[in-house]
């Protein structure tokens, strides 16, 4: 993968998330539901890049989210990075059994991997609440619900963006021959 192009894409998707998140927000009883643009980029990488590259890329994206997130007046490095590392593992397990160029694959992976990531994030934040005093209004259930709704919203946006993402994926310099799934009669190379 071309890391320079990945850096530019990360920058743009982070900017989309910081700016368009509010614009596209849907108000609900649980809070505002916003799409997660970086997760869409992460899924693109997970579908096409080698395992090690995928892990590093998801780590970087998680770190970016941690650094730009404020949890109850605190900036923490950890929740998102850990969540995205866990999600990268889930994505690597699943990607062999999906059609990589199908738009619905994005929906599926966003829901499953995003679900895994946000379970870990909520788990880590809940652990902080258990260890330290909970902030006013903290509710793990509300966190999970709002994050789940955000994932569904992201999946819809991901479905719309799937075709353009596939078109721009060659810019990232993936090597399809090395990451293609197992073929009948041919053992898959170890990734």
Partner 1 sequence: MALAPLTFRRATAIAVVVLLVLALLPAGWCVYARPVGAILDDAVSPVVYPLRVMGLHLRQTVSSPESSEADMALIDARLREQDNIIANQIGRIQELEDELHELRGQKQRLGGDSYNLARANVIGQSTDPVSTTLKLDKGSRDGLAVGQPVLYRASVVGRIIDVQSRVSTFELITRPGRVISAVITPRDVKGDWSALDRAPCQFRATRRERLVYDEADGSLPIHVKDFARLQDKDWPASVQHWIIGEVIDVKTSVDAPLRQRVVIEPLVRLRHLSAVSIVMPKQEADEPHAGGTP
Task: Decide if residue 141 touches partner 1 (CB under 8 A).
Answer: no
Q: Would you tell me how many other CB atoms lie within 10 Å of the CB of residue 143?
A: 18
When binding is defined by CB under 8 A, the residue of 40, 42, 46, 82 that contacts partner 1 is: 82
Query: Shortest gap between Cβ of 111 and partner 1 (angstroms)?
Result: 16
Query: Shortest gap between Cβ of 186 and partner 1 (angstroms)?
Result: 26
Nearer to partner 1, 68 or 175 (CB): 68
Nearer to partner 1, 98 or 145 (CB): 145
Among the listed ranges 20-28, 94-102, 108-116, 181-189, the one in contact with partner 1 (CB under 8 A) is 20-28
Per-position DSSP letters for the chain, written without gaps between them: --HHHHHHHHHHHHHHHHHHHHHT-EEETTEEE---HHHHHHHHHHHHS-HHHHHHHHHHHHHHHHHT--BTTB--SSHHHHHHHHHHHHHHHHGGGS-TT-HHHHHHHHHHHHHHHHHHHHHHHHHHHHHSPPPTT--HHHHHHHHHHHHHHHHHHHHHHHHHHHHHGGGGT--HHHHPPPBTTBPPPP-
Residues 23 to 42 in contact with partner 1, rule: CB under 8 A: 23-25, 27, 29-34, 36, 38
Among the listed ranges 107-115, 129-137, 157-165, 169-177, the one in contact with partner 1 (CB under 8 A) is 129-137
On whether the CB atoms of residues 54 and 96 are closer than 8 A, the answer is no
Task: Decide if residue 66 touches partner 1 (CB under 8 A).
Answer: yes
Query: Shortest gap between Cβ of 102 and partner 1 (angstroms)?
Result: 27
- Chain residues that interact with partner 1, rule: CB under 8 A: 11-12, 14-25, 27, 29-34, 36, 38, 52, 55, 59, 64-71, 73-79, 81-82, 85, 124, 127-128, 131-132, 135-138, 142-143, 146-147, 150
């Amino acid at each position: 993968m071309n890391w320079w192009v990945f850096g530019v894409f990360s920058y743009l998707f982070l900017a989309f998330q910081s700016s368009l998140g509010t614009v596209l927000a849907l108000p609900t009883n649980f809070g505002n539901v916003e799409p997660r643009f970086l997760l869409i980029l992460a899924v693109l990488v997970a579908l096409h890049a080698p395992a090690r590259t995928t892990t590093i890329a998801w780590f970087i994206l998680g770190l970016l989210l941690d650094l730009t997130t404020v949890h109850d007046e605190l900036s923490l490095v950890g929740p998102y990075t850990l969540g995205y590392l866990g999600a990268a593992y889930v994505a690597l397990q699943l990607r062999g059994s999906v059609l990589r160029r199908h738009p619905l694959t994005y929906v599926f992976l966003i829901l499953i991997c995003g679900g895994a990531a946000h379970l870990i994030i909520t788990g880590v934040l809940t652990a902080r609440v258990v260890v330290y005093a909970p902030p006013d209004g903290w509710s793990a259930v509300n966190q999970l619900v709002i994050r789940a709704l955000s994932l569904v919203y992201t999946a819809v946006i991901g479905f719309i963006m799937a075709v353009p993402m596939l078109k721009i994926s060659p810019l990232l310099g993936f090597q399809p021959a090395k990451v293609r799934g197992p073929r009948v009669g041919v053992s898959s190379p170890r990734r």
